Amino acid sequence: EYSSECKFATNRIVRIIKSEGSDYRLSSEAVFLINKATEKFIELFSEDAYDCAVQERKSFIAYRHLSTAVSQEKRFDFLSDFVPEKVTAEKALAERNPADTSPA
CA distances from 12 to 7, 24, 58 (A): 11, 15, 32
- Model-level pTM? 0.74
pLDDT per residue as tens digits for the range 17-76 = 888 877 778 899 999 999 999 999 999 999 999 999 999 999 999 999 999 999 999 999
Q: For the structural domain made of 3-98, what CATH number should be given?
A: 1.10.20.10
pLDDT at 20: 81
Q: How confident is the model at residue 5 (pLDDT cuts 50, 70, 90)?
A: confident
Domains of the chain, by residue range, sit at 3-98
* Statement: residue 1 has pLDDT above 60: no
